[in-house]
Structure 1
Amino acid sequence: MSAGASPSGKPRAAVARCSDDAAPGAEEKPLPAAMGDTPPEAKSPAEWAYQRMILYIQNFEEQLDNEHEVAMGFTGSDAGVLRIEGIGYFDPDIVTFYGTDTSGAKTQLVQHVSQLNVILRAMPRKPEHKEPYRIGFRLVADLERDAQDTPGTK
C-alpha cells in the first residue's frame, strides 16, 4: 500500500470545516469510476494533479449561481484572472490551464506540479452567454470517455 492510499487502495482525503452547513468539498465526494479504477501510484504526478483539479473545478461550479463561471486567480503575481476554458497535462509533471483573461485575451498557464497553486474564483459569466459555461462537468465526462476508450481499463 502506498503512503497516499487507504487499505482499500483508494486515495485518502480529508476536510475540516467550521460549519456543518457548508457545501461538501471535492474531498468528500466519491471519485468518478475513471479515476478510481487506477491507483494513484500508477499515475504520473501530472495525470493525478489534472484529475483532482477537475474534481475541484466541478465541485466549485456546483456552488455557483447562473450568473457566474469558474475562473482562477494567479498566486504570487499580478497577472490577473483566467476564465478556465480547458485544462490538460503533459506527463510526467506539467499541468496547463487554457482560457481568457478579463479583457478577453487568450491566456494559458503552464505549471510544474510541484508549483501548482490555484485560486478558484467566481467570475461573472460572459454577457453574450445565456447560460454559464460549466467546464467541470464536461471535463469529468471526458475522463469517463477516455477511460472507456483506453485498452485495459474498465
Structure 2
Amino acid sequence: MDEAIRTAAEAYEADALPRVYEVHRNPKHKKTSAQNVPHSMTDTPAAQKSPAQWAYERVVLYLKNFEEQLDADHEAAIGFTGAEAGVLRIEGMGYFDPDIVTFYGSDPSGVRVQLIQHVSQLNVLLRALPKQEPDAAPNRIGFRLVEDLEQAADTATS
C-alpha cells in the first residue's frame, strides 16, 4: 500500500499521466513506455477525453513501440481477432468521437480495407508483414501518428 502523501498538484498530474505496466519473458524486450508520450496525451486529463480519443492515443503508442522492434524488411499490420478476414496493412488510423476507432489500409493483395470498431469491442493484434516493395524504406505509420499527436498539441498551445 502506498502511504506517500501527495499534494493536490501531484495527484492531478498523476491522474493525467498515462501509466503502463508490462512484464515480458525476455528481459531485453522493449516495453511500451508512457515516459515519452506526445504532449496531447498529458496536457488533457483522460477524464476529459472521449473513449475514442483515449483508445486511439494508447493504440498509437503500442503501434509505435511495435514498429521500433521491427527489422527493415517488415511493416506493421493488424490481424483481425475473432474473424477470418485476414490482416490489414496499417496505412492510417483515426477516431470518431465519442466511441469509434478506425484503421485504414490494405490487405496483402493490395485491396483497400477499413476497420471501424467501437471502443468496447477494440481488439488489436499487431503483426509484422514483409514490405510490399522490398527495396523501399519500411512504412512506419506509428511514428507518423505520434508526430501528428505532437503537432496537434503544439498547435493547441500556440
User: Shorter chain as normaliser: what TM range?
Assistant: 0.7 to 0.9
Please say if 1:10 is aligned against 2:14.
no
Q: 1:89-135: CA deviations, max 9, x gaps?
A: 00000000000001100000000000000100000001265111011
Mapped contact 2:18–2:34 kept (Cα < 8 A): no
Query: Which of 59, 65, 89 in structure 2 is aligned with 1:59?
Result: 65
| 1:144 Cα deviation from its structure 2 partner | 1.0
| 1:18 Cα deviation from its structure 2 partner | 2.1
- Write the mapping of 1:58-137 to structure 2, written as runs, cut at 5 A: 58-127=64-133, 130-137=136-143
- Structure label with greater radius of gyration: 2
Give 5+ residue unaligned stretches, structure 1.
Answer: none
Q: Please state whether the residue corresponding to 2:61 is helix, strand or coil.
A: helix
Structure with a larger share of its residues in helix: 2
| 1:6 Cα deviation from its structure 2 partner | 7.2
Q: Please state whether the residue corresponding to 1:145 is helix, strand or coil.
A: helix
* TM-score between both structures, scaled by the size of structure 2: 0.86
Mapped contact 2:75–2:139 kept (Cα < 8 A): yes
* TM-score between both structures, scaled by the size of structure 1: 0.88
What letter is aligned with 1:145? Q
